[in-house]
Amino acid sequence: MRAPLSWLREYVDLPAEATGREVAEKLIAAGLEVETVERTGAGLTGPLVVGEVLAIEELTGFKKPIRYCRVDVGGAGGTGEPQNIICGARNFAAGDKVVVALPGAVLPGDFRISARKTYGRVSEGMICSAAELRLSEEHAGIIVLPPEYEPGTDAVALLEIEDEVLDIAVTPDRGYCLSLRGIARETATAYGLPLRDPALLDVPAPNDEGYPVTVGDPAACDRFTARTVSGLRPGARTPVWMQRRLEKAGMRTVSLPVDITNYVMLELGTPLHAYDRERLDGPLGVRRAEPGEKLTTLDGVQRALHPEDLLITDDSGPIGLAGVMGGAHSEVRDPEQDPETGEWRGTTEVVIEAAHFDAVTIARTARRHGMSTEGSRRWERGVDPEAAAAAAQRCVDLLVLLGGGTAGPGVTGVSAPAEPVTITLPADHPDRVAGVTYGREAVVRDLQEVGCEVHGTDVLTVTPPSWRPDLTDPNDLAEEVIRLQGYAALPSTLPRPPAGRGLTRRQRLHRRVGRALAGAGYVEALNYPFVSQDALARLGIEEGDPRRRTLRLANPLSDEEPELRTTLLPGLLAALRRNDGRGSHDLALFETGLVFRPTGQEPPAAVLPVTGRPTDEEIAGLDAALPRQPRRVAVVLAGAREQTGWWGGARPAGWADAVEAARTVAREAGAELEISADRHAPWHPGRCAALHTVVDGERTLVGHAGELHPRVIKALALPDRTCAMELELDLLERAGQGLVTAPRISAFPVATQDVALVVDAAVPAAEVAGALRSGAGELLESLRLFDVYTGEQVAAGQKSLAYALRFRAPDRTLTAEETGAARDAAVAAAAERTGAVLRGA
Amino acid sequence: MSAPNKSYDPVEVEALKPEAIDRAREEALAAIAAAGDLPALREARIAHAGDRSPLALANREIGALPPHAKAEAGRRVGQARGAVGQALRTRQAELEAERDERVLAEEAVDVSLPYDRVPAGARHPLTTLMERIEDVFTAMGYEVAEGPEAEAEWFNFDALNISADHPARSESDTFFVAGTGAGGEGGAPGEGSGVVLRTHTSPVQIRSLLERELPVYVICPGRVYRTDELDATHTPVFHQVELLAVDQGLTMADLKGTLDHMVQSLFGEDLRTRLRPSFFPFTEPSAEMDMVCYACRGESVGNPDRPCRVCSSEGWIELGGCGMVNPRVLTACGVDPEKYSGFAFGFGIERMLMFRHNVEDMRDMVEADVRFTRPFGMEI
């Protein structure tokens, strides 16, 4: 809502020196969101005067037609002689009154006007357009003034160019501030000054002679006032002052009757509608739409109506979407001048509609048809029902005054007002909300200031004013008191929460995993969760894989990515490719985040009442409607894991780095991973590790790691040998070992034994190690694989695994015989389970 | 070598003559002093202090002297050997020090060599900033609450007093889930699932009130979704931290104090905050929260010579929205608003990161460019 300061002053006697910025500060403190204070006319200095075009000479021979005009500017030119002015615009004629900037004037944008030679003539000034004066952005053409102004009149004052305009973002609870009346009320309160309420008009009582109206849905339309004005001059023009106010408020001027309805809407907040009486067919009606009905609205769009849409009708059917937009047919006509006779043709008799519609009904219709209009925005936020009759009266008065019309004697008033809301609250309720003692007197005074009727002593019974439908609860009234007393006056105190338990295990793990991976050289990425079936398919994830069962958005930002991720990899790989494309080639990225794993069997979520706590079953029902959303962690790697440098050559990132990243994560959870070969998209079938751990006592698959499948790398245009790991953090959280039992440290010496075992190349090293460990018995302190050999010295299809075994006893120094026996037992177990043969044996 | 002089006859022993001992001593000391390195000193040690050295030989002859001469000779030899031993130790230490110094000098390296073998990793500054905020509040006794990102509409809207007709529920802001199932059997937009991508972390407040014992003091950090296209100042996926306190007797003054504490913990002491009346369905009274610009402290206002990039010379920085929990919200969660009151606030982490760290473009925070993230390191 744009409110010119000059207009506000009509209702509040602000101090002369009050600036727009100062008023804005006060309104901000009172809860209005003043976004900007715009100075109009900044950068403009005169002389800017009214001129009368006496003669026009058309110049030819230039790229465009040019006019050389003789313009009477009264005495303003200094000589009393008419000025000669070049002009390129064509929307004016001889005899028209225009706005002339004379030499010496400066227009906005430091545009200095001087007498100068152009198009072969001397031009002594400029005929101005609204855009050149920054009056409005709508009109590109020359301003043509109504004929009543004398040449030479100062146009800066006439056009009220110098002003300040407050632009206010009105929150949904303050619909009344979508009017000058409402903003003036807040301004008056903020300055402690009286308000001249423009809605306080003498309004005639309804009678039977008015235009007939039938309200078929009084719940959706509890008031309908109709007035008529006849004998309007079709050529009557909107006066400059009204045009200027409309322009400053951001509205276009259209025709006098429409401008007047808009003006009254800005002034009082009540959206009005003017019908051309000649184009109405029988009585007006208000009802809901019938199935199959259609209406072409003012914007030329034919709309299929919904049975909940509230309509204005006549005998021909729907003529308007109530409160949202009128129909094209019954609209007031734009005046047209007969080119031969000079006679104006247009609407001469209007029916004014000033009604009150239900906010929710209008909001739904506006949303359903995707229309947000000046009217619907006001109805949605609540319009003062008591102002309807006054708005109609104001409209009639202006039509009579400015359009030369005659007010019809008939006054239609259909009314089914709702009971006024009353709120009871303890007088100290605002004090308890604020934590400040205001006292009963201040509370009552502030509520009255807002427009409430207040009764009672310790307990107050409050009737809010008709323009404040948002005031329904005691806390609403508390807010009114606290804001009038000033939010700035609130003290600052600290509550004392009970002792907290700190972060949960899940939260601590999440943090630790992030730190550990960053410490290991990974950079965190936070990717959007939007994916497509196609992206999953390109990862080689086949249909039927649970990861293809996605949650789909009804209104995605992009139809390319309408679904939610079931794995972190698509986003992370896209980030990898983006970085690679930007010249970072050695990459290690990680992400932690939720994935969405619907079963496809989720029932729809119910809408529960809000009148009390839902039952546990109801809450469980809502949770059952949601997909499982576990937190996962993933890494991707490409390029060099270790860079080349003075220490030696680079080491490319490989499958083992991805597996090690999984171990790094598991270590943070205190979990141990069992690594085994697997085939799982999008990984390379020969370089893919399944990651298992024990969760709640059961061996559980928690994720995969390894090198990506070459086909995936090609399909996604990833760097060669890109590697990845993904695992479910929420499973790992439950896999921790619990309390660690401290080991006993033996003081006796260690005995080491190295063994090299030859096994079939397909035998996993982890199995050989497991066999050795179990065979070696309790004396084994540790076991480490230190070499893997394939080549000439072992048979084809075989490999040699070299292990270092360390033995130690808690209570004695081991003899060579004991150590040897333990080693032999270990080798025997490996031989039995894996077919291992001691190398060289 | 002479045999012990059992007859106690005075025997003239050449090696024990005082002149001989003094000479051996002098020779030994000279040789030790002349030893230029540790091998030379080792030779000098063998020659002058070894078993076959003159002084060692002389020592063995003492037994052959008559008793009256033994003491004198013994003292003389002992002193000489002591002096030689001392000289050896001293020289040994000197030569070792010299050698060590030489070796260490030879082993010197260029310690300024880089060691970026594994380039440093980093955490995303949005993550670390959220953790900073979590730490401020957990230190006060608050707990961190979490919830699902795909959320039932009732939690995201209805329970928060956002009725079915509230503009915030329109499709222009909210991502609606089209019903679950592969490829989405779920029907037309707005129909069906009753599930949305949460538009704020406020549904976690509702879950906290339903699940936890009163009083409740929680903060709810997390990811939220709105249907804004990505540009320099908007992103459809962003992060919020919200706070909820519900207890007996909580007031707006408590809200203000808690806000002050947070601002001062994150941005510096003595920074004032400001509340401006506003409107949110889930709070009443409601307010917008501002803080004095931490960079210019308001001094750039009306001072074109000292423009402030952080606050655009406004003097204040908008933080987010807050208010007293609307009693209707408490009622929907089964909390008696006659007995309990609460306050809540929430703000966007992207925005805070932008003004706290001078991030100019929202896209930098979502594109996962390692050049953006690395400088933030592990903590902020």
Of residues A236 and B329, more confidence is placed in B329
Same domain, B320 and B274: yes
Of residues A627 and B170, more confidence is placed in A627
pLDDT digits (tens, 9 = 90+) for B285-294: 999 999 999 9
What confidence tier does B182 reach under pLDDT thresholds 50, 70, 90? Answer: very low
User: Looking at residue B379, what is its pLDDT?
Assistant: 87
User: Looking at residue B3, what is its pLDDT?
Assistant: 54
Q: What whole-number distance in Å separates Cα of residue A268 and Cα of residue B289?
A: 31
Amino acid found at B374: R
B124 and A515 within 8 Å at the Cβ level: the answer is no
Q: What's the mean pLDDT in A582-603? A: 95
**Between B144, B171, B176, which is nearest A507 by CB?**
B144
Q: What is the DSSP letter of A316?
A: T
**CB distance A718 to A744 below 8 Å:** no
Q: Phi, psi at residue A385, to the nearest 5°?
A: -65, -30
Same domain, B226 and B364: yes
Has residue A443 got a pLDDT over 90? Answer: yes
pLDDT digits (tens, 9 = 90+) for A207-262: 999 999 999 999 999 999 999 999 999 888 888 899 889 999 999 888 899 999 99
pLDDT digits (tens, 9 = 90+) for B89-138: 999 999 999 999 999 999 999 999 999 999 999 999 999 999 999 999 99
pLDDT digits (tens, 9 = 90+) for A144-180: 888 888 888 888 888 888 899 999 999 888 999 999 9
Of residues A68 and A480, more confidence is placed in A480
What burial class does residue B339 get, using C-beta atoms within 10 Å of its C-beta: 0-12 exposed, 13-18 middle, 19+ buried? Answer: exposed
For tokens 């695992």, what's the residue?
Answer: A727
Q: What whole-number distance in Å separates Cα of residue B372 and Cα of residue B377?
A: 10
Of residues B342 and B191, more confidence is placed in B342
Q: Which residue of chain A has the CA closest to B184?
A: A552
Task: For domain A213-415, give the CATH number.
Answer: 3.50.40.10
Q: Which residues of A touch B263 (CB under 8 A)?
A: none
Which fold does the domain A2-41+164-191 belong to in CATH?
Answer: Phenylalanyl-tRNA Synthetase; Chain B, domain 1 (3.30.56)
Has residue A698 got a pLDDT over 50? Answer: yes
User: Looking at residue A370, what is its pLDDT?
Assistant: 87
Q: Which CATH number does the domain housing residue B218 bear?
A: 3.30.930.10
CATH class of A505-595+630-736: alpha beta
The strand pairing partners of A99, in sequence order, are: A50
Same domain, B79 and B228: no
For tokens 């730190």, what's the residue?
Answer: A515
Q: List the Cα angle B347/B353/B358 in 5-degree steps.
A: 135
Q: CA of A428, closest CA in chain B: separation in Å?
A: 13
Single residue among B78, B106, B134 that ends a domain in this structure: B106
The dihedral through the CA atoms of A661, A662, A668, A670 has a sign that is negative
Same domain, B77 and B203: no
Selected residues 561-590 of chain A with any CB under 8 Å from a CB in chain B: 562-564, 575, 578-579, 582, 584, 586-590
Instruction: Report if residue B112 sits inside a domain.
Output: no
If one counts every other C-beta atom within 10 angstroms of the C-beta of residue B53, the result is: 20
Mapping DSSP onto H, E and C, the string for A192-261 reads: CCCCCCCCCCCCCCCCCCCCCEEECCCCCEEEEEEEEEECCCCCCCCCHHHHHHHHHCCCCCCCHHHHHH
If one counts every other C-beta atom within 10 angstroms of the C-beta of residue A200, the result is: 9
Cα torsion at A584, A586, A587, A588 (round to 10°)?
Answer: -150
User: Looking at residue B185, what is its pLDDT?
Assistant: 40
**CB distance A114 to A104 below 8 Å:** yes
pLDDT digits (tens, 9 = 90+) for A318-338: 999 999 998 888 888 888 888
B370 and A483 within 8 Å at the Cβ level: the answer is no
Q: What whole-number distance in Å separates Cα of residue A394 and Cα of residue A268?
A: 9
Q: List the Cα angle A658/A661/A663 in 5-degree steps.
A: 115
Same domain, B144 and B238: yes
For tokens 């708005």, what's the residue?
Answer: A391
| CB pairs < 8 Å spanning A and B | 327
- For residue B12, the SS3 value is coil
- For residue A805, the SS3 value is strand
User: Looking at residue A222, what is its pLDDT?
Assistant: 93
Same domain, B142 and B274: yes
- For residue A31, the SS3 value is coil
User: Which CATH number is A751-838's, of 3.30.70.380, 3.20.20.70, 3.30.1360.120, 3.30.70.20?
Assistant: 3.30.70.380
Please enumerate in sequence order all residues whose Cβ is within 8 A of that of A640, keeping only pairs 6 or more positions apart, or say none.
A585, A586, A650, A651, A652, A653
Amino acid found at A470: D
Q: What's the mean pLDDT in A181-210? A: 94
User: Looking at residue B188, what is its pLDDT?
Assistant: 41
Selected residues 9-38 of chain A with any CB under 8 Å from a CB in chain B: 28-31, 33
Q: What whole-number distance in Å separates Cα of residue B64 and Cα of residue B72?
A: 13
**CB distance A243 to A138 below 8 Å:** no
pLDDT digits (tens, 9 = 90+) for B232-268: 999 999 999 999 999 999 999 999 999 999 999 999 8
Instruction: Report if residue B172 sits inside a domain.
Output: no
Has residue B180 got a pLDDT over 60? Answer: no
Same domain, B253 and B131: yes
User: Looking at residue B20, what is its pLDDT?
Assistant: 86
Reply yes or no: is the peptide bond before residue A147 cis, omega within 30 of 0. no
**Between A494, A588, A622, which is nearest B154 by CB?**
A622
What confidence tier does A139 reach under pLDDT thresholds 50, 70, 90? Answer: low
**CB distance A187 to A26 below 8 Å:** yes
Q: What is the mean pLDDT of chain A?
A: 92
Q: What's the mean pLDDT in A546-550? A: 95
Q: Which residue of chain A has the CA closest to B367?
A: A575
The size of chain B, in residues, is: 380
Single residue among B106, B137, B169 that ends a domain in this structure: B106
Has residue A693 got a pLDDT over 80? Answer: yes
pLDDT digits (tens, 9 = 90+) for A14-60: 999 999 999 999 999 999 999 999 888 877 887 888 888 887 877 77
Q: Which residue of chain A has the CA closest to B284?
A: A475
Instruction: Report if residue B175 sits inside a domain.
Output: no
- For residue B156, the SS3 value is helix
Q: What's the mean pLDDT in B355-359? A: 92
Joined together, the tokens standing for residue B356 give: 């706290």
Q: CA of A129, closest CA in chain B: separation in Å?
A: 33
Is the pTM value of this prediction over 0.90?
Answer: no
CATH topology agreement for domains A48-161 and A751-838: no
- For residue A445, the SS3 value is helix
Joined together, the tokens standing for residue B167 give: 């503009």
Task: For domain A48-161, give the CATH number.
Answer: 2.40.50.140
CA distances from A358 to A376, A471, A519 (A): 11, 16, 60
Instruction: Report if residue B166 sits inside a domain.
Output: no
Q: What whole-number distance in Å separates Cα of residue B78 and Cα of residue B62?
A: 11
Selected residues 298-317 of chain B with any CB under 8 Å from a CB in chain A: none
What confidence tier does A707 reach under pLDDT thresholds 50, 70, 90? Answer: very high
What burial class does residue B364 get, using C-beta atoms within 10 Å of its C-beta: 0-12 exposed, 13-18 middle, 19+ buried? Answer: middle
Q: Which domain holds residue B346?
A: 125-149+198-376
Q: Does residue B372 sit at the A interface (CB-CB below 8 Å)?
A: no
Q: Phi, psi at residue A557, to the nearest 5°?
A: -65, -40
pLDDT digits (tens, 9 = 90+) for A80-124: 778 878 887 778 887 888 888 888 888 887 888 878 887 777 788
**CB distance A735 to A695 below 8 Å:** yes
User: Looking at residue B181, what is its pLDDT?
Assistant: 39
Same domain, B141 and B83: no
For tokens 């009264």, what's the residue?
Answer: A74
| Helix pair angle (A440-450, A474-485), 10° resolution | 100
Same domain, B133 and B220: yes
Q: What whole-number distance in Å separates Cα of residue A53 and Cα of residue A70?
A: 6
What confidence tier does B309 reach under pLDDT thresholds 50, 70, 90? Answer: confident
What confidence tier does B12 reach under pLDDT thresholds 50, 70, 90? Answer: low
The dihedral through the CA atoms of A18, A24, A26, A27 has a sign that is positive
Nearest alpha-carbon partner for A768 in A691, A824, A830, A822? A830
**CB distance A490 to A645 below 8 Å:** no
pLDDT digits (tens, 9 = 90+) for A491-538: 999 999 999 999 999 999 999 999 999 999 999 999 999 999 999 999
Has residue B374 got a pLDDT over 60? Answer: yes
Q: What is the DSSP string of A350-412?
A: EEEEEEEE-HHHHHHHHHHTT---HHHHHHHH---GGGHHHHHHHHHHHHHHHH--EEEEEEE
Instruction: Report if residue B188 sits inside a domain.
Output: no
Number of H helices, E strands in chain A: 21, 44
Q: How many domains does chain B have?
A: 2
With a pLDDT cut of 90, the percent of chain A lying above it is 74
Q: What's the mean pLDDT in A619-640? A: 97
What confidence tier does A65 reach under pLDDT thresholds 50, 70, 90? Answer: confident
**CB distance A149 to A100 below 8 Å:** no
Which of A49-63, A333-347, A705-719, B172-186 has the largest mean confidence? A705-719
Query: Left, alpha or beta for B320 (phi > 0: left; psi -120 to 50: alpha)?
Result: left
What confidence tier does B187 reach under pLDDT thresholds 50, 70, 90? Answer: very low
Q: Which residues of B touch A471 (CB under 8 A)?
A: none
User: Looking at residue A138, what is its pLDDT?
Assistant: 62
Task: For domain A424-488, give the CATH number.
Answer: 3.30.56.10
A497 and B245 within 8 Å at the Cβ level: the answer is yes
**CB distance A65 to A56 below 8 Å:** no
Q: What whole-number distance in Å separates Cα of residue A412 and Cα of residue A227?
A: 7
Bridging pattern class, strands A423-426 and A459-463: antiparallel
For tokens 């309790």, what's the residue?
Answer: A778
Joined together, the tokens standing for residue A331 give: 């609209």
Please enumerate in sequence order all residues whose Cβ is within 8 A of that of A392, keeping only pairs 6 or more positions apart, or say none.
A203, A225, A226, A227, A272, A352, A354
Has residue A382 got a pLDDT over 70? Answer: yes
Q: Does residue A435 sit at the B interface (CB-CB below 8 Å)?
A: yes
Instruction: Report if residue B159 sits inside a domain.
Output: no
Joined together, the tokens standing for residue A313 give: 């009708």
User: Looking at residue B344, what is its pLDDT?
Assistant: 98
pLDDT digits (tens, 9 = 90+) for A742-756: 988 999 999 999 999
- Write down the domain spans for chain A: 2-41+164-191, 48-161, 213-415, 424-488, 505-595+630-736, 751-838
Q: Which residue of chain A has the CA closest to B124?
A: A524
User: Looking at residue B183, what is its pLDDT?
Assistant: 37
